[in-house]
């Protein structure tokens, strides 16, 4: 029996790379994205390469109750794999950034992701099987001045994933938090209007390799997946310096990355 995977933010970046891996393993796909053009391109491309069915849903995940809307449209389709990948960043001091953008980020990263997970998890538990991959970040391990909401929301996703993974022991359902470091996707272009590239290119990862690492971790039921030796080391920095110092280090990196 063919299984189905639902991927938010599946039209580009890591979401698209994960969609390719799932399609290669024979999953039918439901891709959700806000970008209509990229959705159609992704659907056409995947169906040309793989013998699978690709459905698309054009949704703005920053809107209230969108998770319930999604469930109404896929109510007849059991979801075997849920990939909560959609997300974006915002650069600037909290006092000066736009609340509308920050509110949208909190909906996408926290509220909609949590609600969609809750709604899909019910069916997984009843069937006794399922896999959930939540896109956290290396940012989850320390405070992030100049990207405060992004870092905090990724920290939430990591903590949330670890907690429900523990609750789901013995149910046949696993939860994995993928925590990549800097990855060469379109993410940087959305973060700030000042630059389209990181000024610091050190430790920049290939999206296909990051996706494969996360995909394998999900299939194994690994709870936290940090791709790359350097990222694993960086995730432990808070053990050796104060959180105040860690925050200052992050600020210095952010300022250097986006200097004109």
| Distance between CA atoms of residues 84 and 190, nearest Å | 19
Phi-psi group of 121: left, alpha or beta (phi > 0 → left; psi -120 to 50 → alpha; rest → beta):
alpha
Write out the two tokens for 211.
């996706």
Q: What is the DSSP letter of 63?
A: S
Cβ atoms of residues 205 and 226 within 8 Å: no
In terms of Cα–Cα distance, which of 69, 44, 161, 51 is closest to 109? 161
- Rounded CA Rg of the chain: 18
What residues are annotated to the active site?
150
Q: How far apart are CA 87 and CA 186, in angstroms?
A: 11
Give the Cα separation of 151 and 110 in Å (integer): 12
188: how many CB neighbours lie within 10 A of its CB? 19
Please state, in angstroms and rounded to a whole number, the distance separating the CA atoms of residues 47 and 155. 35
Contacts of 81 (CB under 8 A, 6+ apart): 3, 4, 5, 6, 22, 27, 130, 131, 132, 133, 218
Q: What are phi and psi of 102, to 5 degrees?
A: -70, -40
């Amino acid at each position: 029996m063919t299984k189905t995977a639902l991927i938010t933010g599946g039209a580009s970046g890591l979401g698209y790379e994960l969609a390719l891996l799932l399609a290669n393993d024979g999953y039918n796909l439901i891709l959700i994205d806000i970008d209509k053009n990229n959705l159609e391109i992704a659907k056409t491309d995947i169906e040309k390469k793989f013998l699978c069915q690709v459905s698309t849903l054009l949704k703005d995940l920053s809107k209230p109750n969108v998770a319930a809307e999604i469930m109404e449209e896929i109510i007849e389709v059991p979801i075997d794999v849920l990939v909560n990948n959609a997300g974006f960043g915002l650069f600037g001091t909290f006092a000066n950034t736009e609340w509308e953008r920050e509110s949208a980020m909190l909906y996408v990263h926290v509220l909609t992701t949590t609600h969609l997970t809750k709604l899909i998890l019910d069916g997984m538990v009843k069937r006794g099987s399922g896999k959930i991959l939540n896109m956290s970040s290396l940012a989850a391990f320390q405070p992030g001045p100049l990207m405060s909401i992004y870092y905090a929301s990724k920290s939430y996703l990591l903590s949330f994933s670890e907690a429900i993974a523990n609750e789901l022991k013995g149910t046949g359902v696993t939860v994995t938090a993928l925590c990549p470091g800097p990855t060469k996707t379109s993410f940087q272009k959305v973060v700030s209007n000042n630059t389209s590239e990181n000024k610091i290119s050190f430790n920049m990862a290939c999206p296909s390799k990051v996706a494969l690492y996360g995909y394998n971790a999900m299939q194994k039921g690994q709870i936290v997946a940090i791709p790359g030796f350097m990222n694993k080391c960086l995730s432990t920095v808070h053990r050796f310096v104060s959180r105040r110092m860690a925050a200052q280090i992050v600020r210095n990196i952010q300022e250097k990355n986006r200097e004109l």
